[in-house]
Structure 1
């Protein structure tokens, strides 16, 4: 320790890198509220953010915008990926 009480700390701080989450998680209440307030357009944003974050976390080649626009065909794949991540962590979830 130094004698100067006002001197900045000389210890080196480790910078924690931001953990990349693979999915955009929102509560059911928030999702339903925003879905109703935006007349259903929030579903497109939600799907886009999920695929965008999944792409960044895994590095897979995909088009998040296309998967959001055609969410009716791609949502099952998103849920399958989420289920795989849940099972890999040793947890279970009843869909």
Structure 2
């Protein structure tokens, strides 16, 4: 009987080890989709990785609400911390090395999101009127916002690198990549429209003045 139980346990462990997790998200994908989507992909990334965590652990988490919480000033930073901590605890429980040092990650994220302001440039012109000065201020603000987006993307890439390390330890290889998903594609299309809108604003102004 003991031998039978031992064989069953060994078979169960082998079955777990043979499972494949299509959770690997590459850095190039995050960078490209974040830029194309006007930064909207970062919210989708948070939703997707929370969903992966729930699927993998069976934890009672709500990916959609966690992603939307990032829109709430200050509170969103706490939710991001909770997200990283959940994965960090999972990695430590399974003996997977990580570099999720939350203090510097959060400081950089706070600075990046403060700079990355989704304020439409046209709002400023309602007060200053359309002029060379207001358009120049708009351009500077958009430049700062873009820099904030890029820094936030770098932070997410670093965090995802740790997640990938965990999936590699669980699966034994990173050959099973996460699907793009319809949501990611839709946000990329929406972001491209926003890019054309902003570019059209500047091009239209300089062509008519």
- TM-score tier, shorter chain, comes to 0.5 to 0.7
Contact in 2 for aligned 1:44/1:68 (Cα 8 Å): yes
1:44-74 CA distance string (max 9 Å, x none): 1111111112222222223211101113231
Which has the larger Rg? 2
Q: How many residue pairs are counted as aligned between the two chains?
A: 79
Instruction: Kindly report which structure 2 residues correspond to 1:1-95, keeping only aligned pairs within 5 A, or say none.
Output: 19=19, 21=21, 24-71=23-70, 72=76, 73-95=78-100
The structural deviation recorded for 1:20 is: 6.9
- Using the alignment, how far apart are the partners of 1:82 and 1:20 within structure 2? 18
Q: Which has the higher contact order (CA 8 A, sep 6+)?
A: 2
The structural deviation recorded for 1:19 is: 3.4
The structural deviation recorded for 1:26 is: 1.6
**TM-score, length basis structure 1:** 0.66
Please identify, of 23-32 and 67-76, the stretch whose mean Cα deviation from structure 2 is larger. 23-32
1:15-57 CA distance string (max 9 Å, x none): x788374x94422222111100100111111111111122222
- Using the alignment, how far apart are the partners of 1:24 and 1:70 within structure 2? 22
Greater percentage in helix: 2
- Using the alignment, how far apart are the partners of 2:20 and 2:61 within structure 1? 17
- Using the alignment, how far apart are the partners of 2:83 and 2:95 within structure 1? 19
RMSD: 2.5
**TM-score, length basis structure 2:** 0.33
- Using the alignment, how far apart are the partners of 1:31 and 1:76 within structure 2? 19
- Using the alignment, how far apart are the partners of 1:20 and 1:58 within structure 2? 14
